[in-house]
Every structure is written in C-alpha cells, then in structure tokens.
C-alpha cells in the first residue's frame, strides 16, 4: 500500500541503513574461536601487530594460533610510585600515599593468552 509521494508503506524499512559499527570504525570483528587441527600439515598463519592497551584485546595468539581475548594483569607504574612518594613527603603518609597505586590511570597492564598462558606484551604508562 503506497502512502503519499514517497511510495513506501508505513511499516516498510527504509531503503538504506547506516553502516554497522565494524564497517564505520574498521578492524576485524570477533569470529568463532580458531583452533588449529592437530596432526594436520603445518599451515602458515599471518597475524598483524595488534596494539595493546589498558583493556583486553581480541587477537590471534602468535604462540598457539588460537583466536582469543587476552587476559590482563595490572601492576603499579613508575608514575604511581613517584606520585605516592611525593604525597608521602607532603605529609599525607597515613594511607593517602597509596591512592595512586589503586587508580587505573596509573597502572601498567600485562597481556597474556588465556589458552596457552604465553606472555603477549605489556602496556606501560609513564
């Protein structure tokens, strides 16, 4: 049933839609986990360098070739230790000097593979 000059029925979807998030931003969307076939002829898996950040990253492990989201472990950075030392010198030594060691913005992040536990890289701050 036509409605007006547009020629579209009221319940019909528009003839175009905005791009999906992955099309607009780019990158590789997550797929089903890739597990190499055991006993098969060795295959070459080409991986790209994935920038590691403060959050878990989706990538293919260069050690076991599994498609994983990295596991992360945080530790205080040099900036956190120096900030705590300066706060302690300024007189706030009764616990306030430990605040920088609890802030996410002052933490280094180590990434590892949850499948084979291989170390994948470290994101350092300051």
Is the pTM here over 0.75, yes or no?
A: no
* Residue range(s) defining the domain that contains residue 90: 52-125
pLDDT band of 59, cuts 50, 70, 90: confident
pLDDT value, residue 112: 92
Domains held by the chain: number: 1
Instruction: Note the pLDDT tens digit of each residue in 16-49.
Output: 777 766 566 665 555 666 666 666 666 666 656 7
For residue 86, being part of any structural domain is answered with yes
CA 33 → CA 5, 69, 112, distances in Å? 49, 10, 16
For residue 44, being part of any structural domain is answered with no
Cβ–Cβ < 8 Å for 57, 50? yes
For residue 22, being part of any structural domain is answered with no
Cβ–Cβ < 8 Å for 36, 65? yes
32 DSSP 8-state letter: S
Q: Which residue has the higher pLDDT, 86 or 125?
A: 86
For residue 73, being part of any structural domain is answered with yes
pLDDT value, residue 5: 59
For residue 91, being part of any structural domain is answered with yes
For residue 78, being part of any structural domain is answered with yes
For residue 66, being part of any structural domain is answered with yes
Secondary structure (DSSP) of 3-18: -TTTT--TTSPPS--P
For residue 17, being part of any structural domain is answered with no
């Amino acid at each position: 049933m036509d409605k007006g000059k547009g020629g579209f029925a009221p319940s019909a979807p528009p003839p175009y839609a905005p791009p999906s998030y992955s099309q607009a931003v780019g990158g590789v969307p997550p797929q089903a986990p890739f597990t190499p076939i055991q006993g098969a002829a060795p295959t070459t898996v080409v991986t790209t360098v994935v920038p590691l950040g403060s959050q878990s990253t989706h990538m293919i492990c260069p050690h076991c070739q599994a498609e994983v989201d990295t596991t992360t472990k945080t530790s205080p950075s040099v900036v956190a230790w120096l900030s705590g030392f300066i706060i302690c010198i300024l007189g706030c030594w009764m616990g306030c000097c430990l605040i920088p060691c609890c802030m996410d913005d002052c933490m280094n992040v180590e990434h590892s593979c949850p499948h084979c536990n291989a170390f994948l890289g470290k994101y350092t701050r300051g």
